[in-house]
Amino acid sequence: MFFSRKKKPEKIKKTKLQLFREYTVRALFIIIGAFITAASLETFLLPNNIIDGGVIGISMMLHYVTEWNLGLLILCINIPFILLAWRKLGHKFVIQTFFATSMLAIATNVFHGFKVTEDLLLSTVFGGIILGFGVGLILRNNASLDGTEMLSITISKKLKVVSVGELLMFINLFIYTAAGFLFGWERALYSILTYYIASKVIDSVLEGLDKSKSVRIVSEFHREIGDEIMKELDTSVTYMKALGGYSRQEKILTYCVVNKFEIAKLKDVVHSIDPRAFIVTEDVHEVEGVRVKKHR
C-alpha cells in the first residue's frame, strides 16, 4: 500500500576514530572562529568604543569602566548562562560553548594592543564583517559565545509567550541604550550598524554562500521537461500531483533543486519545450542528502 509503514532504518554508529576526527575538526574550527572574533574585537571595535550585542557588548562596556581583562570578563559573565543551559540545550553544546568562550578569552589577549584604524566607518564595516565570520564559524560548529542567546531560549521555552528573537531584541536594546550613555549616541549607532552587519555575515556563513534554488514547473509536457532537465543538468526531478484552482483539472508539478548558476539554463530548457510553462523558483538555504544523478 502507498501509506504502508516501512521499517525504520538502523542508526549508523560511528567508530571511535570517526568521532575523534569529527570532534578534532570541530574544535579546530571553533578555535579559528574564536581568534577571528577576537581580532575584530581588539583591533577594530574596542579601540574605537564600538561594541557588539549580548554578553560581549556588556563585557566591552565593563572593560571600558573597570579596565579589567576583556577575555576574562567575557568568560566570567558567560559561565552562569552556560550552567543555566546545561539541561535545556544539552551537555555537548554547553561544553563546546565553554570551550569556544575560553578560546576567545585567550585570543583577546593575543590581539590586545593592536589597532588597525581610527576611522569609525571602516571599523564598523570591517569589524562587523570579521566579527560575523568568526561567530558564524563557531555557531556552525554547534557552539556559541553569547550567553544571552541561551538565556533567551530558556526563558522562551518556559514562558511560551515571547519568542527568542523578541527577548534578544529587548536585551540588546538595553545594552545599546547603555552604550549611548557611556560612549555617546554616535558610537551607539555605529555599534547597532556593526551588529546588523555581523548578523548578515553570520547568516551567510550558516547558510553557505553557494545557495541552491528549488524549482516548481507546471506544464502539460512534464515528462518531456523532466527528461530534458535530467539530461542537460544531470540532476533528478520529482513529479507531484496538483489540482488547478480554476480548471479543477489534475496537473503534474515537476520539482527539482539546482545550483543558482544553473537556473538560467534550466529556464532555457523548459521554455524550449513549453514557452507557456509556469515556473516558480525559491531560495534554498541548505540542502542535505544525496543528490541523485543519472548513471552513465
pLDDT tens track for 161-213: 666 667 788 888 899 999 999 999 999 999 999 999 998 898 888 776 556 78
Number of domains in the chain: 2
Residue range 5-9: average pLDDT? 54
Percent of the chain whose predicted confidence (pLDDT) is above 70? 88
Q: Are residues 149 and 254 located together in one domain of the fold?
A: no
- Whole-number pLDDT of residue 224: 92
Q: Are residues 227 and 191 located together in one domain of the fold?
A: no
Residue 1 domain flag: no
Residue 155 domain flag: yes
Residue 187 domain flag: yes
CA atoms of 171 and 151, how far apart (whole Å): 10
- Whole-number pLDDT of residue 287: 66
Q: Are residues 248 and 109 located together in one domain of the fold?
A: no
The domain of 221 spans: 212-284
How many other CB atoms are found less than 10 A from the CB of residue 150? Answer: 25
Q: Are residues 240 and 193 located together in one domain of the fold?
A: no
CA atoms of 93 and 100, how far apart (whole Å): 10
Q: Is the model's pLDDT at 67 over the cut of 50?
A: yes
Write the DSSP symbol of residue 7. P
Q: Are residues 66 and 86 located together in one domain of the fold?
A: yes
CATH at residue 218? 3.30.70.120
- Whole-number pLDDT of residue 1: 43
Q: Are residues 233 and 200 located together in one domain of the fold?
A: no
More confident residue, 246 or 46: 46
Q: Is the model's pLDDT at 79 over the cut of 70?
A: yes
Residue 61 domain flag: yes
- Whole-number pLDDT of residue 223: 92
Q: Are residues 187 and 225 located together in one domain of the fold?
A: no
Q: How far is CA 264 from CA 107, 233, 267, in A?
A: 45, 11, 5
Q: Are residues 97 and 221 located together in one domain of the fold?
A: no
Q: pLDDT class for 237, splitting at 50, 70, 90? A: very high
> Which tens digit of pLDDT belongs to each residue from 257-291?
988 778 888 999 999 999 999 999 988 766 665 55
- Whole-number pLDDT of residue 206: 78
**CB neighbours of 20 closer than 8 A, spacing ≥ 6?**
none
Q: Are residues 48 and 188 located together in one domain of the fold?
A: yes
- Whole-number pLDDT of residue 294: 47
